[in-house]
Amino acid sequence: MFLRFVSESIRRAPRRKAMTVAAVAMGSAVATAMLGVMLDIGDRVNRELRGLGANLMVTAKAGSLPVEIGGISYRPVSREDYIPEAQLPKIKSTFWQLNITGFAPSLKAEAVLGGRQVPVEGVWFLRRLRGPDGAMLEAGLRTINTAWKVDGHWVDDRERNDAALEAMLGGALARRLGVRPGDTVQLYGRPFTVRGILSTGGEEEDRIFVRLEVLQRLVSRPGQVDAVQVGALTKPEDDFARKDPARMTPAEFERWNCTPYISSIAHQIEAALPMAVAKPIWRVADNEGKVLGKIRGLMLLVALAALASAGLTVWSVMATTVIERGTEIAIMQATGASNWMVTALFSAEVAIEGAAGGLIGSWAGLLLAEWVGRSVFQTSLEIPAMLGPLVVAAAVIASVAGAAQPLRQALALDPAIMLRGGQA
Amino acid sequence: MFWKVVARAVEFRKKRLLLAFSALAVAATLATALFSIYSDIERKMRVEFRGYGANIVIAPGVGAQTVPLAAVAEAERQGAVAAPFVYTVGHLDGQPVVVAGTDFRRSGPLTDYWHVEGTRAAGFGECLVGSTVAAHFRLKLGQQVEVVGAPCVIRGIVTSGGSEDAQVILPLAAAEQLAGLHDAASIVEVRADGERVIALRAALAKALPGADVRLLHAVADTEANVVLKIRGTLFLLTALILAITTLCVTGNFSALVLERSREIGILKAIGAADGKIAALFLSESLILGLASAVTGYGLGLLVAWGIGRQIFPGSAAAGIPGGVGVNYSVFLPVAGVTLAVAAGATLAAAARIWRIKTAVILRGE
């Protein structure tokens, strides 16, 4: 009987019900789309910000003070301080391995080119290697410095080859020497083929980059690396992050260690590579946090505003439908339905409409969020699966809440007055 | 008479209209707030990127060792922030150390990312030291350091994670003297407004033919990229929400008219002309639309202001006109759209009723 009432009511006025459901669906779609985009935009932007380059610099623990201007060292480098190349994959074995988007080792040396002392760096450009968990991973300059421009080609060093005499020159250096891609330059008395010219704007413009294993062989430092640039996705630093880990309680340390702050990632890298020091590059790390914080905050507030208005919309639509049906309520009461019965009937109906609208809306909203992600970031967003059900639940709650007040008023009014056309 | 009918109709359906009004006002609020935020999100985001420091560097050109200080004046003339830096090797306790020099007044805005213990600028006879230098020589704030040729008192200890950590940073004049330079720098860093950075680089390169003017791709390109994406996201979301809101408003107005089909039937039966009925309903809808647009506009600006103040407190300080996120010019589009939708939806719904015979409406079918 109860069910028949509800289904009949929906069947009788399909047009009006469709409009109600559509309104709820629109509200839910707005809420879902906004939330979906809001929840993932931080990660997307974080990845875009990695274009700024490394935010951590790992160097060998040195007893001496580096005296270096533009890559040229003004004091003989002590060869005792180095990071063993074989240990590098350990960077990817820390707790935050998934947050580390790339790392690039380099070995520093100098050579004479065109009558001038020029810094030479032995690097991985894009090296494929086996990680500590056995999976293949990529590391090297290209995993970190995505904004660098290349005239010519990158050196292809996926496989180790210490006989391949290939080099890439910084733009300023190439202009000074008049070197173009495909030319040959003499380094350490050997002919290197210039594969490409790098435009970065920074100090790298005055450098020569060669394969790490080649430089190791030429300067007799096999298996050694001086520094590793690391790019990591981090959580913006807050007051808690700036506390000294040495003075934390075990519980605080646990929390600090399990949050991807730049300082805790640095701490874990130092634990994995005891011969090294990891320092945040504040120019990148600090601002990253600030920019990200702004974007997250903005999107959160915009989403809250959209959520509030979606909720209000659903609420007012449901209130309207109840007000319109004041006569119906009066007739039910006049024919002997208890207040409880009327409330149950209307609540069931409103909840069904809310659920239907919420389902359609959250589905449409997910599609819309997906569309926004694809059009702006060219990748699909990662939206938590819980979002859909949550929005449906919220739609049902907002619907019932909207219907509640006018229903109570209608029930309180004398059916006779209501039927005469009085106002609910 | 006409207005009396309108007034009575509003009064009689107070509650129903209030609900419609609030739904519309909420829609207008959201539209205003999003429009406001979207219209200057780009400027705001770019301000946030100022913290990254320079996006252009002027390095010595082919065959040169230094950049003339005139480059700083030229960049400032073009409306950018610019600061000269000098690097040389000095001696401290018989050990070599990198000595940098800069014009602290100019370099301040470019070095926001330095973590400094003490003050960020040093005057004559004073200096800042990098944290690695401080640790290596066991130096403390306020201590005198005997840099050969330029002894100074430490005013600040700098941690940047970059080369500054291993430098002693002096005022420009002192470092120039130590390096044997006159009116020249090793490098000039320039911060141009993000949207003008490409044009400014070209202008500087033209004005300074002897120097190598380079765009710092990591900073400039990432800024452009992120700003573009955030703007794109907000644009799509704003468009999406506007479209959905418009649909919602349309439905609301149609419902307002359709509910009253019986009334229209009676008006027709007692001989009211179609035009007159349309005018009646239209004026009602327009009043409702206008009221909700004005309310929504006010509330929307408030929301935008609140969000702007919450998220971008720096923008007001940075001298951005309009302060924090309020854009008054969005009223016309918001009101225009609301009114157009109100009129359109009302007329469309009314037209549907007209097509039906009066008797059928009154019979309630």
Q: What is the pLDDT of residues B198-233, one digit of tens each?
A: 999 999 998 888 889 999 988 888 888 888 888 888
CB A185 within 8 A of CB A177: yes
Rounded-to-integer distance, Cα A329 and Cα A306, Å:
33
Quote the mean pLDDT of chain B.
Answer: 83
pLDDT (0 to 100) of residue A14: 74
- Mean local confidence (pLDDT), A177-183: 90
Taking 80 as the threshold, does the pLDDT of residue A203 lie above it? yes
State whether A281 and B160 contact (CB < 8 Å). Answer: yes
- Amino acid at residue number A117: Q
Most confident of A67-76, A80-89, A359-368: A359-368
Rounded-to-integer distance, Cα A67 and Cα A79, Å:
15
Of the residues A15, A313, A367, the best mutation for testing chain B's interface (the one with the most B CB atoms within 10 Å of its CB) is A313
Can you tell me which residue has the tokens 């880990």? A245
State whether A298 and B307 contact (CB < 8 Å). Answer: yes
Give A303's pLDDT tier (boundaries 50, 70, 90). Answer: confident
Measure B48 CA to nearest chain A CA, in Å: 6
- Amino acid at residue number B56: I
- In terms of pLDDT, which residue wins out, B262 or B300? B300
State whether A376 and B232 contact (CB < 8 Å). Answer: yes
Which pLDDT tens digit goes with each residue over B164-196?
Answer: 898 999 999 888 888 888 888 999 999 998 888
Q: Which residues of chain A make contact with B48, given a CB cutoff of 8 A?
A: 287, 290-291, 294
- Mean local confidence (pLDDT), B19-43: 81
Minimum mean pLDDT range among A329-343, B40-54, B251-265, B278-292: B251-265
pLDDT (0 to 100) of residue B319: 44
pLDDT (0 to 100) of residue A421: 63
Can you tell me which residue has the tokens 């120039």? B176
Q: Are strands A127-130 and B126-130 parallel, antiparallel or unpaired?
A: unpaired
Other CB atoms closer than 10 Å to residue B112's CB: what's the count? Answer: 16
Cα Rg of chain B (Å, integer):
33
CB B168 within 8 A of CB B134: no
Mapping DSSP to helix (H, G, I), strand (E, B) and coil, where does residue A168 land?
A: strand
pLDDT (0 to 100) of residue B315: 55
Asked if A29 has any chain B CB less than 8 Å from its own CB, the reply is: yes
pLDDT (0 to 100) of residue B361: 64
Give B314's pLDDT tier (boundaries 50, 70, 90). Answer: low
Rounded-to-integer distance, Cα B162 and Cα B159, Å:
8
Which percentage of chain B shows pLDDT scores above 90?
14
pLDDT (0 to 100) of residue A250: 87
Minimum mean pLDDT range among A232-236, A340-344, B269-273: B269-273
Tell me which chain B residue has its CA closest to the CA of residue A306: B30
Quote the mean pLDDT of chain A.
Answer: 85
| H or E element at residue B84 | strand B81-92
Q: Are strands A72-73 and A68-69 parallel, antiparallel or unpaired?
A: antiparallel
- In terms of pLDDT, which residue wins out, A19 or A155? A155
- In terms of pLDDT, which residue wins out, B153 or B304? B153
Rounded-to-integer distance, Cα B210 and Cα A249, Å:
58
From residue A19, how far is each of A129, A318, A329, B341 by CA, in Å?
59, 11, 21, 17
What DSSP string runs through A321-365?
HHHHTHHHHHHHHHTT--HHHHHHHHHHHHHHHHHHHHHHHHHHH
Query: Which of B133, B218, B247 lies closest to A52 in CB terms?
Result: B218
pLDDT (0 to 100) of residue B326: 63
Q: Where exactly are the structural domains of chain B?
A: 2-49+224-363, 55-215
pLDDT (0 to 100) of residue A212: 93
Count of A-B CB contacts under 8 Å: 220
Nearest CA to A222 out of A66, A126, A86, A75 is that of: A86
Give B320's pLDDT tier (boundaries 50, 70, 90). Answer: very low
Tokens matching residue A398: 């907002």
pLDDT (0 to 100) of residue A105: 93
pLDDT (0 to 100) of residue B325: 56
Most confident of A397-401, B39-43, B241-245, B346-350: A397-401
- Mean local confidence (pLDDT), B288-296: 86
- Mean local confidence (pLDDT), B143-162: 88
- Mean local confidence (pLDDT), A380-391: 84
pLDDT (0 to 100) of residue B322: 46
Residue B83 CB partners (closer than 8 Å, separation 6+): B72, B102, B103, B106, B107, B110, B188, B189
Taking 70 as the threshold, does the pLDDT of residue A99 lie above it? yes
Q: Which residues of chain B make contact with A312, given a CB cutoff of 8 A?
A: 22-23, 26
Which pLDDT tens digit goes with each residue over A115-129?
Answer: 888 999 999 999 988
State whether A320 and B19 contact (CB < 8 Å). Answer: yes
Taking 80 as the threshold, does the pLDDT of residue A418 lie above it? no
Query: Which of A34, A145, A171 lies closest to B237 in CB terms?
Result: A34
- Mean local confidence (pLDDT), A169-188: 90
Can you tell me which residue has the tokens 């389902």? A359
Q: Which of left, alpha, beta for B72 (phi over 0: left; psi -120 to 50: alpha)?
A: alpha
pLDDT (0 to 100) of residue B12: 67
- Mean local confidence (pLDDT), B142-156: 88
Tokens matching residue A249: 């309680």
**Does the predicted TM-score (pTM) go above 0.90?**
no
Taking 90 as the threshold, does the pLDDT of residue A168 lie above it? yes
Query: Which of B16, B34, B62 lies closest to A320 in CB terms?
Result: B16
Taking 80 as the threshold, does the pLDDT of residue A101 lie above it? yes
Taking 70 as the threshold, does the pLDDT of residue B89 lie above it? yes
Q: Which positions 383-412 of A are in contact with B (Cβ < 8 Å)?
A: none
Give A16's pLDDT tier (boundaries 50, 70, 90). Answer: confident
CB A104 within 8 A of CB A194: no
- Amino acid at residue number A142: R
Q: How high is the ipTM of this complex?
A: 0.80
| Strands, E assignment, B103-179 | 115-118, 126-130, 144-145, 152-159, 167-171
